[in-house]
Amino acid sequence: MKFKNTLPQLLAILFLIIGLASCQEDFSSLGSDVIGGQPINVLSKTNNTVVAFSKKLEAVQSNGLPVYQLGTYSDPIYGKTKVDLVSQVVLGTPDPDFGYETELDSVVLYIPYFSDATTSDEVTTYTIDSVYGTNPINLKIYESNYYLRDFDPTTGLQDRQKYYSNLGDVFEGGSNVGELIYEEESFLPSNEGHLLLTADGDDEDEDPDETLVAPGYRVKLPVAFFEEKILTQGGNSVLANNNNFKDYFRGLYFKTDDLGTDGNLFLFNIANASVTLFYTYQDEEEPAAGEEVEREEGVLSLSFTGNNVNLFDNDFNPTIAAALENSDMINGEETLYVHPGAGVATIINLFGTEDADGNGVSDEIDEMRLEQWLVNEANLIFYVDQDKVTGGTAEPDRLLIYDVANESVLLDYGNDNTVYEEASDAVTGHLGKLQRGSDENGEYYKIRITHHLNNIVLHDSTNVPLALVVTQNVLTPGFNSIKTPIDIGTDSELEAVPTSSVFSHRGTVLFGNNTANEEKRLKLQVYYTKPN
C-alpha cells in the first residue's frame, strides 16, 4: 500500500528543511496544519530504540544460483576466500548417434565472462565485467565421482536437494575426486575475444570463415578422456537419457589455488557454459566397393544446466571472528559487520522489548499506535567506519535489508519507483547506494523503511527482526538457506539469506547503535504526522 503526504508539496519541503536544521534534538516540531478540520503536527524523532549486532554464517546453500564464482578473492578486511565449483554436465542430445568409424578431433570447454562489446570500424573490442584481482591462479579440473541428487530423500523427494558451501571435504572424501583432466598453472582472465576459424563449406579455395567469440575461459580438454568416457559409449544405456548419463558421468570439479598471491575471481552465468565435442564419422559402416569414403562432421554439446555447487574456503580474519562470537544481542554493538557468501549478516531490532502492559507489543509501538502516527519518511542510516575499511572500489555499492521471520523483502522494495531500472540503479529509493565523499571513499548507506513502519503502526503488522547483507544485484529474487540456523535472540533464528548475497564478494564495516561516535551512530530517523 502507498501512503501519500497529506501536506502541500511546498510546505513539506519547508518542514523537511526545518527538521534537518533541528536534527540534534530527539523531538522537533516541523510545523502544523489543519486537514479536514483537525489540526496535525509534523514531527521528527531520532531516539527510537535500535539494537543492531552481527552474526557469522558458517555455511549457506550454494546450489541453484543464477550466478556462480570461481577463483580466489582477498578482502582487505575479512581475509581470503577460495571458491571452487562442482558441476554436473548434461547431454545436449540424449542417445546421440555417432555414426561409424568415429574420431574425436577436439573437446572445448567454454565459460564466458560477463562482458560488453564495442565495435568501431568493424573492429570489436571487449570489456570484461565481474572479474576481481589481477594475479594468476592455478586451476585444476577433475572428474567428480560424487552424485548430485535433484531431490532430497529426507523430505520424501518432495523438496529440491540443498547443497552447502562448506561441503568441500565431502566432495573430496574417499573416491569422490576422480582423474585430473586438465590443469592451467597460471590462469588470469583476459579481455580478448576468441577468433574461431572454420572451413568455408564447399569453397575449399576460399579463406576460412571467422567468428569472434566473447571473452571467457576457453580451453581444449584432453581428447583421450572424453573419447573413452563418451564416444565409446555410443548406443549404450548410459547415454540413453540424462538421468542415466548424470549417474554415469557425475560431473566436473574445478579447484583453485592462489599461488601465494591475492589471486583473481570471476563471476559467470553457468547456463551459458559448455563442453563441446567435435568429431568426424562415416555415414555407412562399409561403403560399397570403389565408393569414395566421405567423412561427416559432428558436434555433441554438454551443458552445465544440471546441479552446480559453489564451495567456499574462508581464511577469516581472526579478530573479527572473535568479536562475532560475543555479539551483544541485548544492547547492540559498537561495530557492525557485513560480508557476503558464507560471511556475516547484521541483525536489526527496532523499538525495544519494554512491554509495560504485557500485550506482546513494545511500548514504543503502542505509543505510536495510540497517537495515530502516519510515517511520512523513515530511514536507517548506516555510516561506514572509514578507519576500518580500505575504501574505494573495495567497498560494496549496495546493501539489502529484509524481513527475517518471513524471508522476504520489505514493503518499501515493491513500492520503490525505481524497481524497474537496471540493477545498478534499481530500488535506490529504498536501498540507497553507497554515498561517497570527494575522495571516493564510502560515507553512508541510507535505507528507507517508510512503508514497513506504517504497516506496523497503521495495520498492526508484527515488528519482526530485520537483517542487513551485502548484495551483488538487488533485483535477484529468492532466498537461500543457512545450514545451521543462527540464534538472534527474542526467540528468533536467522534461517536464510537473499540469494544475491551468496554470490557477492565485497564486505564493509559500519558504525553500530552502541558506538561512542554519536554523529555516526546508527539511528532510526522518522518524520511523521499525528492529529492533535
Yes or no: say if 79 and 319 are a contact pair by the CB < 8 Å rule: no
CA gap 189, 219 in Å, rounded = 12
What letters, b where the CB count within 10 A reaches 16 and e where it falls short, cover 123-162? eeebebebbbbeebbbbbbbbbbbebeeeeeeeeeeeebe
Question: What single string gives the DSSP state of each residue in 273-327?
Answer: -EEEEEEEEESSSSPPTTPPP-EEEEEEEEE--S-EEEEEEEEE-HHHHHHHHT-
Sort strands 68-75 and 194-198 into parallel, antiparallel or unpaired: unpaired
pLDDT of residue 199: 65
What dihedral do alpha carbons 74, 76, 79, 80 form, nearest 10°?
0
Yes or no: say if 350 and 466 are a contact pair by the CB < 8 Å rule: yes
Q: Which amino acid would we find at residue 232?
A: T
Residue 251 sits at the vertex; the CA angle it makes with 177 and 244, to the nearest 5 degrees, is 120
- Sequence-distant (≥ 6) Cβ neighbours of residue 163 within 8 angstroms: 61, 62, 63, 148, 307, 309
Give pLDDT < 50 ranges for the chain: 1-33, 35-37
CA gap 85, 144 in Å, rounded = 10
- Sequence-distant (≥ 6) Cβ neighbours of residue 525 within 8 angstroms: 44, 46, 377, 378, 379, 380, 381
Name the 3-class secondary structure at 348.
Answer: strand
Question: C-alpha cell of 28?
Answer: 522537533
pLDDT of residue 292: 74
CA gap 205, 207 in Å, rounded = 7
CA gap 59, 483 in Å, rounded = 6
Domain ranges of the chain: 48-58+317-531, 79-312
Which whole-number Å values give the CA distances from 520 to 27, 142, 383, 395, in the listed order? 19, 50, 6, 18
Yes or no: say if 332 and 513 are a contact pair by the CB < 8 Å rule: yes
For the segment 184-222, what is each residue's pLDDT rounded down to a tens digit?
A: 999 999 999 888 877 655 555 566 777 889 999 999 999
Helix (H), strand (E) at residue 409: strand 408-409
For residue 175, what is the DSSP state? Answer: T
CA gap 342, 165 in Å, rounded = 7
CA gap 54, 512 in Å, rounded = 10
pLDDT of residue 295: 87
Give 476's Cβ-side CA count (13 Å radius).
22
CA gap 239, 247 in Å, rounded = 10
Sheet holding 435-436, edge to edge: 27-35, 38-45, 523-531, 374-383, 442-448, 435-436
The residue length of the chain stands at 532
Yes or no: say if 509 and 336 are a contact pair by the CB < 8 Å rule: yes
CA gap 263, 132 in Å, rounded = 9
Residue 42's nearest CA partner among 27, 54, 62, 21 is 27
